[in-house]
C-alpha cells in the first residue's frame, strides 16, 4: 500500500503540492522538499503527454508519489495519466454520484472496471505488467474535487459511492459558482465548506482542500479543523512569493 493511501485510511493528514510548470527539474525540486505527493495539473497547465513519464519519474526518485489532476472526468484523460505512471488521480468538477461511479470504473482494470489493458510506461512496457496490474486497482489514490455549489446539494449521494479516498474542495471554482470568487472568508462560502466537511465525516471520506498561498499558520489550521488531504500552494506561487522584491527599499 502506498504511503498516501495508508495515511488516508488511518485518518492521518497527508500534504502535497501542485505543479503547473512543465519541467522535470521543477518536479524533482518539489518532491525533494518533504511532500507526500506532487500533483501535475493537466487541467490548467501546459503539460504534453510525452512529458509526463519523465516528470512522474522525477517526482518518484525524490520520494514523493506522482499524482495527476486530469483535465476532465473522461476515460481517455484518466487512462493516459495512469499509463504514464500516475499513482493518484484527482478529477475536477464532480457534481453527481454517476460521475463518481464512472471515475472508479475508468480508473480500474477489469473485473472492477473497464480501464484499457495494455503495455505502457506504468508497467515498463510489459516488463512489470503482472505485478502492476495486480496491485494498481487497490493501490491507486482516487480523489474527487467539489467545485460547484450544485454539487453541494448532491453531496451525500456523491459520497455514498465506495472507492473514493478523499474529497477535495476546489476553492476558486466553488466560490466562483457562488458569485464569491476568491472570497474564502465570506460567511456563505465558509458555511458551504462546513456542510461539505460534515458530509465527509458522516460518510467516512477524508476531507481535502487547497491552501493556495503559502502560509504555515493556515496549513496548521486546516489540519486542526480536520482536513486530511491538503495541497499546499503551487510551484509558480511559491516561486512568485520568494522572487518578489521591492527595489525601492534597497
**37-83 pLDDT per residue, tens:** 999 999 999 999 999 999 999 999 999 999 999 999 999 999 999 99
Question: Looking at residues 106-125, what average pLDDT do you find?
Answer: 96
175, three cell numbers: 466560490
Question: Looking at residues 96-118, what average pLDDT do you find?
Answer: 97
pTM: 0.95
85, three cell numbers: 505512471
Looking at residue 1, its pLDDT comes to: 55
Sole residue written with cell 503551487: 234
Q: What is the DSSP letter of 115?
A: P
DSSP assignment of 20-83 = -S--HHHHHHHHTTT-SEEEEETTTS---GGGHHHHHHHHHHTT-EEEEE-SSS-HHHHHHHHH
Question: Looking at residues 142-156, what average pLDDT do you find?
Answer: 96
Nearest by Cα to 156 from 146, 142, 141, 170: 146
Distance of alpha carbon 193 from alpha carbon 204, whole angstroms: 16
Residue 88 has pLDDT above 80, yes or no: yes
Those residues whose C-beta lies under 8 Å from the C-beta of residue 98, and which sit 6 or more positions away, are none
The C-alpha R_g of the chain, in whole angstroms, comes to 18
Contact 244, 231 (CB under 8 A): no
Residue 188 has pLDDT above 60, yes or no: yes
What percent of the chain stands above pLDDT 90? Answer: 95
Q: At what angle do helices 75-84 and 97-106 cross, to 10 degrees?
A: 40
Looking at residue 182, its pLDDT comes to: 92
**Mean predicted lDDT score pLDDT of the chain:** 96
pLDDT category at 16 given cuts 50, 70, 90 is very high
Burial class of residue 236, CB neighbours in 10 A (0-12, 13-18, 19+)? middle
Question: Looking at residues 77-90, what average pLDDT do you find?
Answer: 98
Amino acid at each position: 500500500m502506498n504511503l498516501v493511501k495508508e495515511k488516508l485510511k488511518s485518518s492521518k493528514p497527508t500534504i502535497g503540492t501542485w505543479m503547473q510548470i512543465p519541467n522535470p527539474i521543477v518536479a524533482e525540486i518539489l518532491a525533494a522538499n518533504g511532500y507526500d505527493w506532487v500533483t501535475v495539473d493537466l487541467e490548467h497547465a501546459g503539460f504534453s503527454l510525452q512529458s509526463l513519464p519523465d516528470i512522474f519519474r522525477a517526482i518518484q526518485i525524490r520520494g514523493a508519489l506522482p499524482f495527476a489532476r486530469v483535465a476532465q472526468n473522461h476515460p481517455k484523460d484518466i487512462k493516459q495519466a495512469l499509463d504514464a505512471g500516475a499513482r493518484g488521480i484527482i478529477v475536477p468538477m464532480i457534481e453527481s454520484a454517476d460521475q463518481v461511479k464512472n471515475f472508479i470504473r475508468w480508473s480500474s482494470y477489469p473485473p472492477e472496471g473497464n480501464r484499457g489493458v495494455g503495455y505502457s510506461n506504468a508497467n515498463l512496457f510489459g516488463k512489470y505488467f503482472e505485478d502492476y496490474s495486480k496491485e494498481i486497482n487497490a493501490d491507486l489514490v482516487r480523489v474527487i474535487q467539489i467545485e460547484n455549489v450544485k454539487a453541494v446539494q448532491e453531496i451525500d449521494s456523491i459520497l455514498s459511492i465506495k472507492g473514493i479516498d478523499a474529497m477535495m474542495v476546489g476553492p476558486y471554482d466553488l466560490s466562483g459558482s457562488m458569485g464569491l470568487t476568491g472570497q474564502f472568508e465570506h460567511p456563505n462560502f465558509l458555511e458551504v465548506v462546513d456542510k461539505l466537511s460534515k458530509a465527509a465525516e458522516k460518510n467516512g471520506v477524508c476531507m481535502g482542500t487547497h491552501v493556495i498561498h503559502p502560509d504555515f499558520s493556515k496549513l496548521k489550521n486546516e489540519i486542526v479543523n480536520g482536513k486530511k488531504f491538503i495541497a499546499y500552494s503551487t510551484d509558480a506561487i511559491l516561486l512568485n512569493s520568494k522572487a518578489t522584491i521591492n527595489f525601492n527599499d534597497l
